[in-house]
Amino acid sequence: MTIAPSSHGSAAGLAGLGHQIMWNRLLAIVEEQAQTLLRTAFAPIVRECGDLSAGVFDLRGRMLAQAVTGTPGHINSMAASVNHFIRHFPLDTMREGDVYITNDPWMGSGHRNDFVVTTPVFRKGGLVAIFSCTSHLTDLGGIGFGPDATDVYMEALGIPMLKLFDRGVLNETLMAIVKENTRLPIECEGDIYSLANCNEIGARRLVEMMDEFGLDDIDALADHVVESSRAAVMEAFARLPRGTWTNSMTCDGYDAPVTLTATLTISDEGIAVDYAGTSPQSPKGINVPLTYATAYTVFGLASALVPQVPNNAGSLAPYTVVAPPGCILNALKPAPVTCRHIIGQMLPDVVFGCLRQALPDRVPAEGTSCLWNVTFRGHDPGAGREFVYTVVTNGGTGARPGKDGLSATAYPSGVRGTPIEIVEAMTPLLFWRKEFRVGSGGAGQFRGGHGLDMEIENRSGRSMDLLASFDRIDHPPRGRDGGGDGQAGELLLKGSGDRLRGKGTQPVPAGERLIVRTPGGGGLGDRGDRSVDLVSRDARDGLASKA
């Protein structure tokens, strides 16, 4: 999107051109901020997979720009988090060198394994902006990164809104508490410093930009970015049909299936989504704070309707998301929420089911959606210590209008898969197989993306834990308009043949091989309408039989 006015010959046009240049600089700054975090993080899920967010905010708490590197659940929840920081630490109390931190699920990104770090920026003694970032910490004690807990206090160490640095002085007490409450103290300490450091780099670059352009503040630039982005979204919405549509989806849940129901309304004011009719919150840790539900709902809608508009406070403003308090998408404290991604990442598919009734050529069939993160915990004989490691994987996306679905792709999360070589170098795990699960994508004129077929051996010499947090096993992704459903996910032990539950901590005995089969995406359209060229391509690529 070009946010500068087109009348470059006028004074207004020259001002707009200046804003465009500064906007591009903001994008470069926040991407350097994110790359700093990516390259200095200790946790492999951040360093190798990009499970993070980074952005710059004005003094009204409005997100102006976000890094391309990052996940919607982190980015769009961070957009709301900064206002919570300002509420706890008013602007007139902020001092140069202060850095703030929390992992409160309801004021952060939805669970305690994510730290949000926020830093005020000063220039010539005056407060001019705020930088914020988020990343996932692999272990913060408690029951671990699985859905077994029955309240948030069991899940992990909780950090309220606190100062990480006070005028440049580290909160040593806080750091000692964090290190005492994790199975990975060195990794956690390093990740906290990484978060603070990336904000510091962003702050330096912003001050350099302000010096270069002679800016005493960024208020005019902030207004231009926010107002232009909001106007672009509303212009796109003006071309959409008006009306209200409802869709429901059933997913596996923990002990019982969960129903997600959305009612979507497009009006002159924007788009509103109401999750009335959704199942109540669960006694286990698959609940979703509303901030995370909002993040993925809005991301799904934006990716379908206005993908060209940058993501900031202005482009987010025309969306409204509500859910009944106490439902699984608006879980109330102290509900357990560690695996909120299982349900929260389904929400783009839920709202796509509404949109397809109004705009059938805009949205895909259902996909795997929620990440199939394989988390192991056990003893590493080579390192002589306990280890906790999350292997990031996913299944196929749903077929798209005019295109097949994507195989083994983490939509809507956007994180990268963990390289096998990294896993094997850092853990006593051996991958015997990681390949496309041929035929798992639903058949159709356009087929769903394929899942993965993996075989992972426990070589630790001891039993280790699998912290299972998977879905789409009992309720696979649905095809659309005559397309077939994707294949369901599957977990089993190769030696014993025992099938494992999709959720909950379960042992993987020494020497045993875990088979993980991730779901395929749903197909779109009748399979009889599939072109000969696509059929031949699948056969050539080994993704279908010759028949």
pLDDT in tens, 90-134: 999 999 999 999 999 999 999 999 999 999 999 999 999 999 999
Q: Cα 2 from chain centroid?
A: 26
Reference 307, options 232, 370, 416; nearest CA is 232
Span 294-334, pLDDT tens digits = 999 999 999 999 999 999 999 999 999 999 999 999 999 99
- For residue 17, the model assigns a pLDDT of 77
Average pLDDT over residues 156-180: 98
Per residue in 370-393, pLDDT (tens digit) is: 999 999 999 999 889 999 999 999
User: According to the per-residue pLDDT averaged within each range, which of 5-14, 369-378, 533-542 is highest?
Assistant: 369-378
pLDDT at 546: 56
Looking at the DSSP bridge assignments, the partners of residue 499 are: 492
pLDDT, tens only, 388-428? 999 999 999 999 999 999 999 999 999 999 999 999 999 99
d(CA 436, CA 421): 18
Checking 271-274 for CB contacts under 8 A at 24+ apart, the result is 271/237, 271/301, 271/305, 271/318, 271/319, 271/320, 272/319, 272/320, 272/321, 272/322, 273/297, 273/301, 273/319, 273/320, 273/321, 273/322, 273/351, 273/354, 274/322, 274/323
Cα 229 to Cα 496: distance, rounded to the nearest angstrom: 56
- The structure tokens listed for 485 are 């459903």
pLDDT at 168: 98
Q: What length does the chain have?
A: 547
Go through 128-166 and write b for each residue having 16 or more CB atoms within 10 A of its CB, e for each that does not. Answer: bbbbbbbbbbbbbbbbbbbbbbeebeebbbbbebebbbe
CA atoms of 236 and 417, how far apart (whole Å): 34
List the beta strands (DSSP E) in 58-194: 63-66, 99-102, 114-123, 126-136, 162-166, 169-170
8 pLDDT more than 90: no
Say if residue 10's pLDDT is above 60: no
Question: pLDDT-derived band of residue 13, with 50, 70 and 90 as boundaries?
Answer: very low
334 prior amide bond cis, ω within 30: yes
What average pLDDT score do residues 270-274 get? 98
pLDDT category of residue 545 using cuts at 50, 70 and 90:
low
pTM as predicted: 0.95
Q: Residues with Cβ < 8 Å from 21, sequence gap 6 or more?
A: none
DSSP state of 268: T
Residue 544 pLDDT level (bands cut at 50, 70, 90): confident
Helix 347-358 / helix 290-305 crossing angle, nearest 10 deg: 40
Scan for tokens 């080579």, then name that residue.
382
Q: Which among 418, 412, 430, 414 is positioned nearest to 366, based on CA atoms?
A: 412
SS3 category, 146: coil
Both tokens of 38, joined, read 């990516």
Instruction: Give the model confidence (pLDDT) of 490-507 as tens digits.
Output: 999 999 999 999 999 999
- Cα–Cα dist 481/385, whole Å: 53
| Coil, helix or strand at residue 143 | coil
3 state DSSP class of 368:
coil
**Residue 42 CB partners (closer than 8 Å, separation 6+):** 186, 187, 188, 190, 191, 194
Q: Which pLDDT score, from 0 to 100, does residue 514 have? A: 98
Given the structure tokens 């058949």, which residue do they identify? 443
Q: Cβ atoms within 10 A of the Cβ of 17, count?
A: 14
Give the 3-state DSSP-derived string for 125-136, with helices as H, strands as E and coil as C: CEEEEEEEEEEE
What percent of the chain stands above pLDDT 90? 94
Amino acid in position 316: L
Within 13 Å, how many C-alpha atoms sit on residue 417's CB side? 17
Radius of gyration of the chain (CA): 23
pLDDT value at position 5? Answer: 33
pLDDT of residue 242 exceeding 60, the answer is: yes
Q: What is the 3-state secondary structure (H, E, C) of 443-499?
A: CCCECCCCCEEEEEEECCCCCEEEEEECCCCCCCCCCECCCCCCCCCEEEECCCCCE
Q: Where are the beta strands (DSSP E) in 76-198?
A: 99-102, 114-123, 126-136, 162-166, 169-170
Token pair listed for 394: 């996913």
Query: Are the C-beta atoms of 142 and 377 separated by less than 8 Å?
Result: no
